[in-house]
């Protein structure tokens, strides 16, 4: 035992000295393992795959559109990358068009190599919500001051104090809507997307029947939005338009004719029958019925606690694919649209499990 101790003691003493010396030589560095991609391993085979994929997307098949709530910052995980989406996705819509990070701009080109088109969201509903917030803030300020900011603006514009505030606000909204729509289109042009998704809900036009004054007012209100889009389309003939929302509530149906697809928002549908009902409601006079896409979402809870994105206790994405395959005589089902697609990424066994299952249902040969 003494002999062993005699030989080990110097070694024990030397260890701290060696460690101290090593720490002076170099700083420890993490090792990054890099695995070659399929493209690098077999470029010829990958080129054949891309050719086959592009041929598939130009063929007649059920369309898959996904929208992503893209962050302005660089992707923090794989769910935020465009390149991790299933290759068979036809369109990717970026909901945030004002501040797209450089990584996504680069990945837009990578997606295009696979025949995937990247669109940007033009959102009337967001414009309308922002305007309502402005009016609420003005009302709050007016209640706390003797003379509101709005009244000062009216005086500066030589408008009479007795003018109906509703008429004034309607006129103000038209100018605000034009400005915000132009701002969105400028962002689209700078981003260089392959087209746009127009999000418009509106309200039931039946409420305007036999009320000419309201009809004229709503026509002007919608015109502030859609007229600029029509002009944009005329100036960008190679770009695509996809309508999303409630097409039956659009007064000027020409923009729907210009749209390649019409997404009917079915976030609230609890079964396949409700999906069919929503599409039938959308099939108003003047609405093209040969290009309907059923719009669903990944699961989420509304502010009121209502559950969306589930149909009969399962993913609405998969249910939408099954609904699409059920042929009907009244209209054509062109495919599905999935909102919040990044939320479908996380799964311990397979990424984007519901989107992939839906693709397999719609196009069993697709990958």
Q: How far is CA 216 from CA 207, 220, 262, 279, in A?
A: 13, 6, 25, 27
Q: For residue 25, is pLDDT > 50?
A: no
Residue pLDDT, tens place only, 190-200:
999 999 999 99
CATH superfamily of domain region 62-362 = Aldolase class I (3.20.20.70)
Q: How far apart are CA 347 and CA 353, in angstroms?
A: 7
Helix (H) or strand (E) segment spanning residue 265: strand 261-265
More confident call, 66 vs 37: 66
Residue pLDDT, tens place only, 107-135:
999 999 999 999 999 999 999 999 999 99
pLDDT of residue 191: 97
Give mean pLDDT, residues 24-38: 53
pLDDT of residue 172: 96
- Do 29 and 90 form a contact (C-beta atoms < 8 A)? no
Give mean pLDDT, residues 353-367: 90
Residue 22 — very low, low, confident or very high, per pLDDT cuts 50/70/90? very low
Q: How far apart are CA 150 and CA 47, in angstroms?
A: 62
Residue pLDDT, tens place only, 313-333:
899 999 999 999 999 999 999
Token pair belonging to 23: 């720490």
Domain assignments of the chain as residue spans, ordered by start: 62-362
- Alpha helices, DSSP H, located in the chain: 2-25, 38-41, 43-58, 102-113, 124-144, 149-156, 165-191, 212-235, 254-258, 272-282, 316-324, 353-362
Q: How far apart are CA 135 and CA 29, in angstroms?
A: 57
The predicted model scores a pTM of: 0.85
- Do 67 and 337 form a contact (C-beta atoms < 8 A)? yes
Residue 4 — very low, low, confident or very high, per pLDDT cuts 50/70/90? very low
Q: For residue 152, is pLDDT > 60?
A: no
Q: Across the chain, what does the average pLDDT equal?
A: 88
Give mean pLDDT, residues 342-360: 94
């Amino acid at each position: 035992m003494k002999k062993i101790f005699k030989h080990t003691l110097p070694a024990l003493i030397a260890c701290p000295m060696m460690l101290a010396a090593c720490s002076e030589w170099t700083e420890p560095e993490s090792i990054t393992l890099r695995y070659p991609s399929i493209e690098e391993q077999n470029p010829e085979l990958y080129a054949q795959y891309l050719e086959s994929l592009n041929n598939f997307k130009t063929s007649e098949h059920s369309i898959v559109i996904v929208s992503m709530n893209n962050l302005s910052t660089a992707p923090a995980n794989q769910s935020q990358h465009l390149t991790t989406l299933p290759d068979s996705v036809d369109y990717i819509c970026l909901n945030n068009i004002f501040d797209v990070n450089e990584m996504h701009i680069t990945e837009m080109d990578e997606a295009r190599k696979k025949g995937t088109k990247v669109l940007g969201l033009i959102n009337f509903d967001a414009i309308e919500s922002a305007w309502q917030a402005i009016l609420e803030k003005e009302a709050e300020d007016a209640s706390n001051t003797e003379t509101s900011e709005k009244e000062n603006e009216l005086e500066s514009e030589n408008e009479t104090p007795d003018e109906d505030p509703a008429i004034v606000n309607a006129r103000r909204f038209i100018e605000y809507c034009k400005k915000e729509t132009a701002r969105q289109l400028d962002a689209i042009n700078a981003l260089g997307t392959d087209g746009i998704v127009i999000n418009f809900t509106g309200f039931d036009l039946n409420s305007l029947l036999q009320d000419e004054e309201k009809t004229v007012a709503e026509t002007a209100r919608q015109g502030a939005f859609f007229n600029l889009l029509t002009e944009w389309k005329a100036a960008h003939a190679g770009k695509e338009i996809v309508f999303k929302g409630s097409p039956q509530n659009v007064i000027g149906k020409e923009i729907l004719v210009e749209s390649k697809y019409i997404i009917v928002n079915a976030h609230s549908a609890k079964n396949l029958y409700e999906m069919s009902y929503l599409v039938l409601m959308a099939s108003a006079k003047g609405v093209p019925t040969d290009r309907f896409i059923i719009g669903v979402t990944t699961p989420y809870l509304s502010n009121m606690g209502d559950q969306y994105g589930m149909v009969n206790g399962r993913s609405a994405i998969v249910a939408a694919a099954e609904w699409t395959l059920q042929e009907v005589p009244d209209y054509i089902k062109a495919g599905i649209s999935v909102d919040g697609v990044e939320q479908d990424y996380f799964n311990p066994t397979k990424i984007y499990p519901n989107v992939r299952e839906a693709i397999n249902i719609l196009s069993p040969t697709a990958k």
